[in-house]
Structure 1
Amino acid sequence: MDWTDILKSSLLLFAIVNPIGSIPIFLQLTGGMTQKERSRAFQTGVVSSIAILFIFILVGEHILTNFFKIHLSDLMAAGGLLLLIIAIDHMIFGSLVRGVLSGEQQNARHI
């Protein structure tokens, strides 16, 4: 694997994980913590993520192909089907974001 492949993979992983978009979520979840507790939570999250990433790098393909009997072509077909469903949903309803509202919220005038 040359440096170009490593750079492409790193940028793809960065885009998928979206650490910049996760900052508000982290701040919301750790809002009541002290600075020391917040730092510890951050370090625990980073170490856990890296450990899970390396475990799946080492044995992920073996688990998928031998244990679950899932191949790359299966994942590609499922991903394409998922994108098709999302596209049809977006064309029909015009919005990807729909929530389940309680009866009180459904009767609100601002909706």
Structure 2
Amino acid sequence: MLTPTNIGGKTNPRVDPAGWQSGRGYNRAHLLAAVLGGANNDKRNFVTMHAYANSPVMRGFELQVRDAVRAGENILYRATPVYSGSNSIPLGVTISARGNVKFALDVTIANRKR
């Protein structure tokens, strides 16, 4: 549950997620973004995503959620990586967010290059 008192933070990943490969155009992508109060040092909060899929695409949705929380909504938030077989890099991430006023978001971000 995201509330105005628990959002905020700076992105500063301190762990390498499964499938991480330096110099290959990937980002360490938060499942619960730092701006939403997500941890930078918990490996369970990260997946390997293509840079473009992480930012600007996923980040854009995270900022919509942040703005709704700042506007006073309490939001039930879930980010679920979508995997295929034993591949350690997800095909994408599905975000579902429901506010207590009117905010609603259901989206799957494909993990692909621009």
The bucket for the TM-score relative to the shorter chain is under 0.3
- Larger Rg: 1 or 2? 1
Give the alignment's TM-score, normalised by structure 1.
Answer: 0.26
Give 1 or 2: higher helix fraction.
Answer: 1
Give the alignment's TM-score, normalised by structure 2.
Answer: 0.25
